[in-house]
Amino acid sequence: MSNTSLLADRYRLGEVLGTGGVAQVRRARDVLLARDVAVKLFRPGEDLADARRIDNEICALAGLSHPGLVTVYDADPGGETPYVVLELIEGRTLRDRVADGPMAVEDVRRVGAALADALAHVHARGFVHRDVKPSNVLLDDDEIPRLSDFGLVSMVGGSGITKTDQVVGTAAYLAPEQVRGQEVTAAADVYALGLVLLECLTGHREYEGSEVEAAVARLHRPPAMPDGLPFDLVRLLSRMTALSAARRPTARECAEALRSPVADPPTLVVAQPPRSRGLLAAAAAVVLISAVGTGLSTWNSVTSTGSEPPATNAPASNPARQAEFAPTPVVVQPTAPVVAPAPVEVVDRGTPAGPGGKAKSGKGKDKKGGA
């Protein structure tokens, strides 16, 4: 079809905006309504899967209407050249934006919430996009995102296996269950959105390498979270990219979490390490001395004056309780008189005998009082 002819006697085709596995997107002019549009022209082959995929996309786009999706104006799935007429978004793709460098956290929250809202709308109508990636997100001049390219859309519960020539460049965003060839649900779109938001924050794909390397890498390690992210965003992205589909939040929950950031939890107080034995022993000694001093002070106040113990408030009818709190009386015995011992005769064997051979004798003296 030449550039000067009209498609369906209405759309004048212009420049090529993009090319995919089974379709080509071109700028066009709607001569009837005098507005610019985007026309997606399909190239149906003999493969019935291609024809079925074209029908699925056109039916899905025709039944969806959301601010986060590209609006469908017209379609003809049964003609010689099937086509769908879409809203023309003047701007660039999210992939082009990420190529300029990482995005601010606030911008990522805003874009992510809008895309999650659009996915929630798609999922609520029984579809799974299966090809969420930066190049399929269109940004208008106001940086408002639109999710596009439903060429791989399927009903919830459909197979996630696609031909490699139709999923070019998307292996880096496949969910683990898609890599394993398991049942594909809406959780696969949530996983891909999580990787897209991480790429917006870091400026590069999380899983690099060939398609096989990128696809298998997610089965061996979770995506790395960049430093300095708010706690709630780290928690959300970790849940969105969980290996198990059952652990991921829904698209609606993702949109609510991205729109309502929560403050980081308070910093935990780290417990001080236990003190050394020497310090503990010294502290215990201080406590023991204080207790003993208190006991002695109380004891002296009771016994030093020799007076009666202080009266208690217990009733007289309960003498046992009075005795329980009364201190034990101290009895002081009188000092016994000192009795002088009997005189002891001391024989000095070292003194020589006097005249007549008799030894000298004397009376022993009792030492009293240390005299």
Active site residues: 131
Task: Indicate the residue type of 159.
Answer: S
Reading phi first (left if > 0) and then psi (alpha if -120 to 50, else beta), residue 357 is in left
Q: Which residues contact 8 (CB under 8 A, 6 or more apart)?
A: 74, 76, 79, 83
Torsion of CA 207, 209, 210, 212, to 10 degrees: -50
* Rounded Cα gap, residues 182 and 221, in angstroms: 19
Task: Indicate the residue type of 15.
Answer: E
Separation in Å, CA 312 to CA 279, 297, 319, 324, 326: 41, 19, 11, 11, 9
* Rounded Cα gap, residues 298 and 309, in angstroms: 12
Q: Tokens 């209405």 sit at which residue?
A: 10
Asked if 139 and 157 touch (Cβ cutoff 8 Å), the reply is: no
* DSSP code, position 69: B
* Rounded Cα gap, residues 92 and 328, in angstroms: 97
Q: Quick one: tokens of 264? A: 């980081």
Q: Which residues of 78-104 are buried (b: 16+ CB within 10 A; e: fewer)?
A: eeeebbbbbbbbebbbbbebbeeeebe
